[in-house]
Amino acid sequence: MTEIHPTALVSPQARLGADVQIGPFCVIEAGVEIGDRCRLESFVTIKTGSKIGCDNKISDHAVIGGGAQHIRAPENPGSLIIGDRNQIREFATVHRALHAGELTVIGNDCLLMVQAHIGHDSIIGNNVILTNNVLVAGHVVIEDRAYVSGAVAIHQFCRVGRNAMVGGQAHVVQDVPPYVTVDGCSSLVVGLNLVGLKRNNFDAATIRDLKKAYRILYRSNLTNGEALEKIRMDFAGSPAGHFHTFLAPSKRGFIQARSRGRQRPVDEPVKLRVLPGELTENVRQAG
């Protein structure tokens, strides 16, 4: 049975599924579609042009389907489609597409944590996690099972590959290859996302292929184009082949790997190697 709190404002032109719960002070505008068994807590706003699937939970003060943050936003913008079983937490914002006929899309089983933002025309896959204060600009693509840590900012038109993990506070200005980890401090690739791969049941043989492909991409003397072509040839039919599928059409280029050389922390003392006789001579000259 659908339950609407008496303080909520629900347009008669909105379409609600079965067993929907709408909490205090929510606003549901005309043309909104909400699927079965969705739960909206207090002060949630769902704007015109939004279509939401089933079994979604949307927490307090989230704003779904707002207009694009664009200085020349048209009067008739595009739409927003959200799949099933997503959790959208407090103060999260998701914007509909900029132009009529275009879409912002969120797949199934995603988690958007507190104050996460998804800009217009972005495409978010399935099982994606965006943690607190993640900023996703317009026209961004994030593939399935990617994990984006707190306070990461993703530049417009960038893409994040499947099963990638982006560390906290990274600034992403190029594509993130699939399966890798991006370090939050340097914003550079630091290896495969082995923890995420194992948690998602990648077997040992597949992980070996991914390691080989990673070494071709980042540890060989090949150009990016040559490395991707070799990956295409060597790993046809393997998940490792997705390095080529994802990166070959890249328009912004992709994030490079951090140097394997150890970087000395700024607060680590410099250790000098003193040869016999040098210390006595240095002391004599100083005195």
Question: 51 forms bridges with which residues in the sheet?
Answer: 33, 81
- Catalytic one among 125, 138, 161, 196? 138
Answer yes or no: 175 catalytic: no
158: nearest Cα among 207, 124, 109, 127: 124
Tokens of 2: 């659908």
Residues 167, 168, 170, 172: is their CA dihedral positive or negative? positive
Q: What is the DSSP string of 187-221?
A: -SEEEE-HHHHHHTT--HHHHHHHHHHHHHHHTSS
**Are the beta carbons of 86 and 111 closer than 8 angstroms?**
yes
- Catalytic one among 121, 144, 175, 209? 121
Answer yes or no: 121 catalytic: yes
55: nearest Cα among 83, 31, 33, 28: 83
Cα(126)–Cα(29) distance, integer angstroms: 26
- Catalytic one among 61, 95, 117, 120? 120
Answer yes or no: 171 catalytic: no
Please list the active-site residues: 120-121, 138
